[in-house]
Structure 1
Amino acid sequence: MKISSVLLGTSFAGTLPNSCQGGKQLNLLAELISATPVSQRKGITLVRDWSPEFKKEVNGYRFDEEARLLSLRAAEALGNCSAFPSEGSLLLTIKPGRIDTKGQFLISLLERQARPHRPLFGLRLHYDTIYLDLPNVSHRNSPRVHVPNLHDGWWHSIFVTFAEGQIQVAVDCEVMTIHNRNDQAVKKLTSEVDLTRADFYLGSRRVPKQRFKVCSSSIIIQKNRGKRTAFVFIKYNISIVMKQL
């Protein structure tokens, strides 16, 4: 298995909601693991994999069918923000497995105790397409980007940025065309979603059998740091190996 040692950087600037305690970079994947008590980590195994580019062993985790769905309180994870950052970014580094006709959920932000379980925000894969789930937008109408080489057996970086009510997606440093763009839903995400009532999930709470289907080395959420320019430098040294169900 190839572990990428790419060093990715980007920059942005802007203003955080007043409820946030400064800018913060969150490795959501690592937080989800550490927030799970050891006694509840059944089916999650720490493994070591040799990285030819790092020229050393890299720690990782293997999930099997016994692994429980991992979740994290959204507001606490983002520095006690009650609202989704008006400007920021989300970075996922993944290595998709076999093509699944039913789709694969990567990450979900869901309102706690809500019925039905409609995502407030999320990313999912279906064939060679990445879908962005947004508030009050059906799966069929979700914004999407096509990535023809997504299942080529290599690691890929999905970089999502949101600012001024708009969203952009880059895959492996290439800016992608977004189909079904919905700026109104993006504005609703950054202005109306109450994070104090929401949780982040690795995968999807509402589709439990579709949660562990890709390899992922990191899930990074970066908020801006006020009016100062902030740089995000991510080295992929956390590998998640997820078993096909």
Structure 2
Amino acid sequence: MRIQVINPMGVDVYNPMVEQAIARATAPDTKVEVRSLMGTGVPATAFLPAHSLMMNQLLTQVETAERDGFDAVVIACAADPGVEDAKELVDIPVTGPMEAAVAAGRAFGHLAVVCPRIESGEGENLPQNANWVRRLIHRYSAESIFAGVISAPSGHPPADEVNRLLAEDPPGLRAAVRAEMEVSATTTALEAAERAFHDLDAEVIFFACTLWSGLLGPIREQVPVRVLDPLITPVLYAEMLARTGSN
């Protein structure tokens, strides 16, 4: 079993984070490869590029993954960019974090989504409200299980520092961004999860940013609901889909 995880960015800064997050999640005979869109003309930004700057390259990479013999593809962004179009291009399963979360939500109960609000820089596409979640819930016909969405503002290093680290110290940028997301996992995101449980009657909560992957332990310890990791959930779902379709 071979799964390609596509990080839809023009840099590979976060690839080691993705690899570490999913390393122990899959079956022993499943091999996962993480690829970014680096070198394809997608601009080098610290966060998700605008769709107009990376969509063609993303879909091309999905087609390449199929030609290279991969059994499934995960597009590693909680907004599921290109997932719907990619399904029409290839015969292997293609999924994203939100689609996988909805599938899990149908099994576990009412689903709440916690999404970040991170300041979006030039050429980036970080949403400043939660309406993108509602649109995806509608796309996946999940209104009957949708408990609601709560935003959890999350910080990031100052823009000048982000640009400097991106150019001079990519591992330092990854560490700095992850540190901010780790803070949110014990403050704003934790508070959002508690609200989802107490006020929205959520039975399962999806954290809709891959940068939270691997940082959700404090929330699992304090909020008595199922917590869906934004990278592990779609990789396991893709693995299941691929095995279901194999002979």
Q: Please, what TM-score do these two structures have when normalized by structure 1?
A: 0.29
Higher relative contact order (CA 8 A, sep 6+): 1
Task: Indicate the structure with greater helix content.
Answer: 2
Task: Indicate the structure with greater strand content.
Answer: 1
Q: Please, what TM-score do these two structures have when normalized by structure 2?
A: 0.29
